[in-house]
Amino acid sequence: MKDELELLKVKSREDKEKIDILEKEKKIAEERIKSLENDVTKLEEIETTSKITASSKQKSKTKSHDQCRKSKKKKSSTQEIKKGKIT
């Protein structure tokens, strides 16, 4: 009976050690998950900023309606000057 009790105590200690190890691993895994979530958030912010920047650059490359009209007028005036219509 004493031997049986000792075996149960040893088994209990081993199980407790395993539980402690698993709890530590769980804590490490949770910290890693939080770190990865933070990385994802940062990447999403960078992606959003990049899209805004790219969109701004694209808008600056395309002329507005007024800019197109002005440049067309300039071209036609230039063409008229070349033809000798404007003195």
Does the residue 38 lie in any domain?
Answer: yes
Concatenate the DSSP letters of all residues of 6-70 into one string.
HHHHHHHHHHHHHHHHHHHHHHHHHHHHHHHHHHHHHHHHHHHHHHHHHHHHHHHHSPPHHHHHH
Structural domain boundaries, residue 38: 28-53
The verdict on residue 17 lying in a domain is: no
pLDDT tens, N- to C-terminus, the chain (87 residues): 889 999 999 999 999 999 999 999 999 999 999 999 999 999 999 998 887 777 776 666 555 655 656 555 555 555 555 556 554
Q: Is residue 78 part of a domain?
A: no
Structural domains in the chain (count): 1
The pTM of the full predicted model, rounded to 2 decimals, is: 0.51
Look at residue 52 in the predicted model and tell me its pLDDT.
Answer: 78
Residue 46 lies in a domain: yes
Q: What pLDDT is attached to residue 65?
A: 57
Determine, yes or no, domain membership for 49.
yes
Does residue 77 lie within any of the structural domains?
A: no
